[in-house]
Amino acid sequence: MELLEFVAEDGTIISSAQWPARFGYKEELVRQSVSRAEPAAFLKREDLPDSAVLAIVAVRPVRAGDRTLFVVGGRKLDRQFLASLVLPEGMRALLYSNLEAGFSPASITDASGPIAQAEKLGALIESARDQSRELTQTVLWSKDAAGAELLHVIPLTGGQKEFLGALLIGSSRREQVELERRIRLAAAVIGGAGVLLGVALSGWAAAHVTKPVERLAAASQRVAQGDWSVHVAIESQDELGQLADSFNRMTKEILEQRDRLIQAERVAAWRELARRLAHELKNPLFPLQITLENLVRAKEQTPEQFDEVLRESIATLLAELANMKAIIGRFSDFAKMPHPQLQEVQINDVVRGAAKLVEAQLDVPGRPAITKRLELGGPIAPIQADPDLLHRAIQNLALNAVDAMPSGGTLTIRTTARPGGVRLEVSDTGAGLTKEECERLFTPYYTTKKHGTGLGLAIVQSVVSDHGGKVSVESEPGRGTTFRVDLPQKPPEPAAG
């Protein structure tokens, strides 16, 4: 969370993390949004000590004694936010922040920073603002038609319905233009063939051939100009009639292939999002089930220990429910792994938390025994990391190791200090992997399990990479597997531009 404030019932700011000097100022928008029962999250202009940003915030009332406080938390909408979005190949997202009087080209940015020729988008953004609706327009960035981009602009309004900015989704037309060029070339070849055929036969039957050839040539020119729905009338069963029929079938097949390609791209994008979401929700669901079963078993078998089991189980349930809520919230932001929210983290504490949740997998009735060993080195200096993302990565590695030992074995999690960072190792005594399997393990959707989506290790690699670290695997058939994660003490700053 990048923005955090505590506000009293009358709108007075009690504390502001992003601008401590705002203590005592009035924040009327927060109180008004709660009184009007507005949506849980909304857009607003957020003033900072040295600038103003566009932010999405949420307000939650909390009781403090006999008074009510409002907790306002949010996130900046900037290029880091755009970088967190997962878009199909050939697409990009741009953000316009309307924080100044009049249109400012410098306020348009993508995931890498301000864009060139931003002034070309001014008319489109102002039209979307004036009409208060979504608009679509093709923007030609250069003389080359293949460099054109189809932009869909979505106006962004605040709690007072004021225009705060716009989100632009761009789709490159390069593939479409190149397809059109190939179609034009094919149409030109067919048209030329028709013209040559007409010239060759003109001396024999000019009166019967000239008109059909002229119609076919005209249809070819229309196709070359982009009209793919053209249809040539078939008036004979000779060679010219067959040529016209072939031409009609060709244009029909081109239209059908284009429609199938567009539909397949959309289905693939949604399928990727659904598969990733299903994989992320599967891990916390099983501990929830085991925890509830443990509660029932403790109530029936050891009533005198039920209160203690209940307290531990509630803590586990709340932790996993919070984990599921975070997963769902992140996938609702277009299914991109979130950018790490860095803070000071003790790696051993994160390992203990993840290992405790994995214990539910080790106690499944009927499963061969798996021994858990924690070899936590020390002292280890704190690192700058996102504890939630590291927790998920370690849990994925541990659950992957458990799945690799269906006949039982030993799960070992080891931490050691390294110059400039830490090393984490997760080992199992399972069947091991071949060299070819090790090379493909981190490929999305590749899995060696009968029931698996193949996203777990890809997610681990994404988390480690976002922290500026490296992950590797060491394994041999019959000798188990070790995953090794090296994390720096502080991730490098993202590259500018």
Residue span(s) of the chain under CATH 3.30.565.10 come to 337-488
Judge contact between 251 and 223, C-beta under 8 A: yes
To the nearest whole number, what is the mean pLDDT of the chain? 80
Residue span(s) of the chain under CATH 3.30.450.20 come to 3-76, 82-172
Please give the pLDDT value at position 144.
81
Alpha helices (H) in 109-173, listed in sequence order: 122-131
Residue 270 in this model has a pLDDT that exceeds 70? no
Q: Which residue has the higher pLDDT, 132 or 365?
A: 132
Judge contact between 150 and 158, C-beta under 8 A: no
Per-residue pLDDT tens digits for 448-458: 665 444 567 77
Residue 70 in this model has a pLDDT that exceeds 80? yes
Residue 50 in this model has a pLDDT that exceeds 60? yes
- pLDDT confidence of 481, banded at 50, 70, 90? very high
190 in helix, strand or coil? helix
Residue 331 in this model has a pLDDT that exceeds 70? no
Element (H, E) at 198: helix 174-224
- pLDDT confidence of 461, banded at 50, 70, 90? confident
Residue 68 in this model has a pLDDT that exceeds 70? yes
**Which of 148-157, 291-300, 418-427 has the largest mean confidence?**
418-427
- pLDDT confidence of 103, banded at 50, 70, 90? confident
Judge contact between 30 and 7, C-beta under 8 A: yes
pTM score, whole prediction: 0.37
Residue 323 in this model has a pLDDT that exceeds 80? no
Q: Which residue has the higher pLDDT, 335 or 102?
A: 102
Joined tokens for residue 155: 């106006």
**For range 405-424, the mean pLDDT:** 92
Superfamily per CATH, domain 337-488: Histidine kinase-like ATPase, C-terminal domain (3.30.565.10)
Nearest one of 464, 465, 447 to 456, comparing CA atoms? 447
Contact residues for 219 (Cβ-Cβ < 8 A; gap 6+): 230, 231, 232, 247
Ranking 238-242, 420-424, 459-463 by mean pLDDT, the lowest is: 238-242
Joined tokens for residue 263: 């539909």
- 94-97-102 Cα angle (round to 5): 120
SS (H, E, C) 14-32: EEECCCHHHCCCECHHHHH
φ and ψ of 368, to 5 deg: -55, 145
φ and ψ of 307, to 5 deg: -60, -45
- pLDDT confidence of 332, banded at 50, 70, 90? low
Using only C-alpha atoms, the chain has a radius of gyration, in whole angstroms, of 31
Residue 356 in this model has a pLDDT that exceeds 80? yes
Taking the C-alpha atoms of residue 423 and residue 154, their distance in angstroms, rounded to an integer, is 45
Q: In what order do the strands lie in the sheet with 470-475?
A: 370-376, 409-418, 421-428, 481-488, 470-475
Please give the pLDDT value at position 334.
36
Residue 497 in this model has a pLDDT that exceeds 50? no
Contact residues for 185 (Cβ-Cβ < 8 A; gap 6+): none
**Which of 158-167, 214-223, 411-420 has the largest mean confidence?**
411-420
**For range 455-478, the mean pLDDT:** 85
Superfamily per CATH, domain 3-76: PAS domain (3.30.450.20)
Residue 141 in this model has a pLDDT that exceeds 60? yes
**For range 132-141, the mean pLDDT:** 88
Please give the pLDDT value at position 426.
94
Question: What's the Cα-to-Cα distance from 409 to each of 250, 372, 402, 485, 487, rounded to whole Å?
Answer: 62, 9, 9, 22, 27
Indicate the DSSP class of residue 57. E
Please give the pLDDT value at position 449.
60
- pLDDT confidence of 268, banded at 50, 70, 90? low
- pLDDT confidence of 496, banded at 50, 70, 90? very low
Residue 193 in this model has a pLDDT that exceeds 60? yes
Judge contact between 96 and 166, C-beta under 8 A: yes
226 in helix, strand or coil? coil
Residue 102 in this model has a pLDDT that exceeds 60? yes
- pLDDT confidence of 495, banded at 50, 70, 90? very low
Judge contact between 246 and 232, C-beta under 8 A: no
338 in helix, strand or coil? coil
**Which of 10-14, 37-41, 153-157, 334-338 has the largest mean confidence?**
153-157
Question: What's the Cα-to-Cα distance from 427 to each of 126, 355, 370, 422, 482, rounded to whole Å?
Answer: 58, 13, 12, 17, 4
Residue with tokens 């994390």: 487
Contact residues for 194 (Cβ-Cβ < 8 A; gap 6+): 213, 216, 217, 220, 243
In CATH, the number for domain 82-172 is 3.30.450.20
Nearest one of 476, 392, 363, 473 to 429, comparing CA atoms? 476
Pairing mode of beta strands 409-418, 370-376: parallel
Per-residue pLDDT tens digits for 376-398: 987 899 999 999 999 989 998 99
Question: What's the Cα-to-Cα distance from 315 to each of 277, 288, 301, 350, 399, rounded to whole Å?
Answer: 24, 11, 21, 16, 20
**Which of 46-50, 57-61, 132-136, 170-174 has the largest mean confidence?**
132-136
Q: Go through the chain and tell me how many residues it has.
A: 497
Residue 38 in this model has a pLDDT that exceeds 70? no
